[in-house]
Amino acid sequence: MADPYYITTAIHYPNGKPHIGHAYETIAADVAARFQRLRGREVRFQTGTDEHGLKMAQKARDLGVTPRQLADEMSGYFQVLFDRLDISYDRFFRTTEDEHHRASQAIWQAMEANGDLYLDRYEGWYSVRDEAYYDESELVAGEGAEKLSPQGTPVEWTVEESWFFRLSKYQEPLLALYRDNPEFVRPATRMNEVRSFVEGGLRDLSISRTSFDWGVKVPGAERHVMYVWVDALTNYLTGVGYPDDTADFRKFWPASVHLIGKDIVRFHAVYWPAFLMSAEIALPKEVFAHGFLLNRGQKESKSLGNVTDPNELADTFGVDALRYFLLREFTFGQDGSYSAEAIANRSNSELANSFGNLAQRTLSLIHKNCDGRLPPIFGHTDADDALFALLDKVTRQDMPAAYDKLAFAQALESWMGAVYACNAYIDEAAPWALRKTDPERMQTVLATLYIAIAQLAVAVSPVMPRSMARLLDAMGLAPDLRTIEGTWSHWYSPLAESGFRIDKPQGLFPRVELPESEPA
């Protein structure tokens, strides 16, 4: 059996409710996890919330609650949303859990034991919004004399006693890592940015704070709490049992992929491997940075009043249509812009009209003309063979290869190509006209389509798990037959022998009509 697969998302700051970017990242990770399970790999999928740090402490103070109360409340919204979006996480991680404090202290001590930590004074810029330190040279001009971080967030001058990590010592080892593993960071544009950043020289990193106490205590120096990114990154280890030498740790570490957004590449591709090298822990195999979602081309923000609740999108379009749109519409790794019209168009044309209609037409004809049973096959024509060959290629080669490299749009594009081919085949063969003239051919055509639809449904099930499970249940395909390797012979005999009868089919994807008042 293939290696175990461990995929993580970033852990999200629960300083507010989840937004569409959080949903996007977690859906993508879910699709990767579901695909690997479908292939038979043992999967661990972790997501969660990043609950410490100054940003949480300040937000809680503004709201007049404790950071713990804020984290408990908001973390709940993330869990509810992820459950609603059918995110099949194995673990929802919260950094306020006790075992995580123990793990963060253990990695700290391992770095300290290697002589990589020392006490000094930090004087420099800090962005609370990004929870990041910046060099003067990285700052950009805001309005007037104001300085902003490269992400456009406010920075404040900070002076305090702090523990430092000898990041400078890891410049060469990091460059060697990138040289030996050019796909350590994907896409390649992000790898290039990281490499240039490290080539530019690394300063030691301030990794503790004394001006507030909401965080993991530094072992032996309890006036200090760890810089939030030290404990946040460690979540990936804690989740599989670190610091204990557990069976999970041995099975799942190093992680297969850390899936994150493009704004936090530096933490994952520079700081994190350096911490791990220092603590003598194996490095993750890959860091994949996806792009940002924009609302009609604009970043969502409270001041613009364009923040969309992912729950509302799920209400309007349905969970599976939303999942499909987010992965179909833009290349994974690049930014993408969405709007209600764009989601409605994709959903109506591709899900309702193309795939939904194909399934509806085929299953209705089988229900009506074949007593609901999988029809027998009376010899193959060239057109039947060509359709099978295409489906095998798309569902057993092209889509798996694309899912494997997180090229979701590519997987869905080839899926759609196969759906169109099935629609062309049904139009050409016109089984509805054959009932009287050539019932054997009608049955062969319907059996061919039945198998094709089953293959298409299994192949797209990581993206649309709920509706594809409903369809496959309605088609009588037993769960153990739902594998990516499924071919004609794999499906046909067991289905035919099961004697399953299809009921009158229910529509899979309703058409979405947006209210006229929706802005264009």
* Contact set with ligand ME8 (CB under 6 A): 10-13, 21-22, 24-25, 50, 232-233, 235, 260-261, 263-264, 292-293
The answer for residues whose C-beta is within 8 angstroms of residue 28's C-beta and 6 or more apart is 259, 290, 326, 327, 332, 406, 408
Least Å distance between CB 21 and ligand ME8? 2
Least Å distance between CB 274 and ligand ME8? 15
Please return the burial class of 325, using the count of CB atoms within 10 Å of its CB with bins 0-12, 13-18 and 19+: buried
Q: Which is nearer to ligand ME8, 39 or 190 (CB)?
A: 190
Q: Which is nearer to ligand ME8, 18 or 241 (CB)?
A: 18
Give the closest residue to 343 by CA, choosing from 304, 307, 301, 296. 296
User: What single-letter amino acid sits at 257?
Assistant: V
Least Å distance between CB 24 and ligand ME8? 5
SS3 label, residue 426: helix
| C-alpha separations of 36 from 41, 154, 258 in Å | 5, 41, 15
Please return the burial class of 303, using the count of CB atoms within 10 Å of its CB with bins 0-12, 13-18 and 19+: exposed
Least Å distance between CB 383 and ligand ME8? 43
Least Å distance between CB 296 and ligand ME8? 13
Give the closest residue to 255 by CA, choosing from 268, 270, 264, 267. 268
Least Å distance between CB 384 and ligand ME8? 43
**How are beta strands 156-165 and 117-127 bridged, if at all?**
antiparallel
Q: Which residues pair with 47 in a beta bridge?
A: 92
Contact 135, 124 (CB under 8 A): yes
Q: How does DSSP assign 456-481, residue by residue?
A: HHHHHTTTSHHHHHHHHHHHT--GGG
The C-alpha atoms of residue 366 and residue 506 are separated, in whole angstroms, by: 13
Ranked by CB distance to ligand ME8, the top (closest) residue is 261
Q: Which is nearer to ligand ME8, 252 or 488 (CB)?
A: 252
Q: Which is nearer to ligand ME8, 11 or 174 (CB)?
A: 11
Q: Which is nearer to ligand ME8, 86 or 263 (CB)?
A: 263
- Distance, C-alpha 232 to centroid of its chain: 18
User: What single-letter amino acid sits at 456?
Assistant: L
Least Å distance between CB 312 and ligand ME8? 16
Give the closest residue to 253 by CA, choosing from 268, 264, 265, 242. 242
Q: Which is nearer to ligand ME8, 194 or 454 (CB)?
A: 194
Least Å distance between CB 14 and ligand ME8? 8
Contact 512, 321 (CB under 8 A): yes
> What is the H or E stretch that residue 369 is in?
helix 357-369
Q: Which is nearer to ligand ME8, 22 or 361 (CB)?
A: 22
The answer for residues whose C-beta is within 8 angstroms of residue 160's C-beta and 6 or more apart is 121, 122, 209, 210, 211
Q: Which is nearer to ligand ME8, 52 or 224 (CB)?
A: 52
Q: Which is nearer to ligand ME8, 295 or 444 (CB)?
A: 295
Least Å distance between CB 300 and ligand ME8? 6
Q: Which is nearer to ligand ME8, 17 or 37 (CB)?
A: 17
Least Å distance between CB 257 and ligand ME8? 13
